[in-house]
Amino acid sequence: MKKIWYAILAVWAVSFSACEQNDPLGELGEMQGFAPNIYMSPFQPAATAGRETETTIDYWIVGAKNYEGFYLWWQATTTEQYLFKIPSVNFSFSREIETEVVPYEVHAQYSFSENDFKLDSKTYQKTVALDIPSTFRSVNKQSKTTIIEGVIVESIATFAASLDAEVKAMFIEELVSTLTDAGHEKLLVTELEQTTAEQLAAQYDAEGNLTDAGKEWLSTMYSAIPLEDLLGEYQYKKVHVVLSKCEAKSGSGVSNFSLESRITIK
């Protein structure tokens, strides 16, 4: 039994010696250097368009204070919400469209300074800031009169003049596909007087199903009608959201990132 234990100890000693002589992780650290440590205090969750919003980063590194720099990254997306209603036929259309307006990129760059050292925390601390474009201002408008603060009352005609063609196409497509034959007749024949009941009936087959040609006919018919004549009311909201994180990079090119911060722009 003792011979077995001696053999195990001998193998362990050889393995330990080999690890000391060939330490790939240690060699990697010597070649590339240590990654900086970084902590970014979250930005305030809401910021105002056209103004600067600030926060602080705390950073430190093991070994020599060798920094290439600090990079504040950001990404911006816009979310648009549409709600259209035609009360007379009990029809409503809603969409939420998200668009990336700024891809993740460096917004600002900062340099290392010994003046950043804070004795109480034994770290270096720096103020970083995002300049929020004035074009990121939130929008909240509707056709119905309201006393709610911040909501713009705008006529359907004015709103329709700047409506994206793709959104109008989606609205028309849903109107054509979901409205019943009775609904189409009430809108196109009775209220708007755009066609006759006989012409509308010709768009359906013997079983009462709307044909492909009929869908195209209806789409063309509705597309030609001004939106202010078609809609009863609308609501529209637009808001920008910014995501931001900070990168600390050592002089040897090793990076570390802070956690991401989310900011809603108003």
For the stretch 78-107, pLDDT in tens is 999 999 999 999 999 999 999 999 999 999
CA dist 155 and 10 (Å) reads 88
pLDDT above 60: residue 10: no
Query: Range with the lowest mean pLDDT among 25-34, 129-138, 171-180, 250-259?
Result: 25-34
pLDDT at 149: 81
CA dist 59 and 118 (Å) reads 10
Share of the chain above pLDDT 90, in %: 82
Beta strands, E only, the chain = 37-40, 46-47, 52-60, 67-86, 91-110, 117-118, 123-131, 139-142, 152-153, 233-250, 255-257, 261-265
| DSSP-assigned letters across all residues of 1-68 | -HHHHHHHHHHHHHHHHHHHH--HHHHHHHHH-PPPEEEEPPPPSEE-TTSEEEEEEEEE-SSS--EE
Residue 258 contacts residue 40 (beta carbons within 8 Å)? yes
Which domains does the chain show, CATH number per domain? 1-32 (no CATH), 33-77+101-135+240-266 (2.60.40.10)
pTM of the model: 0.81
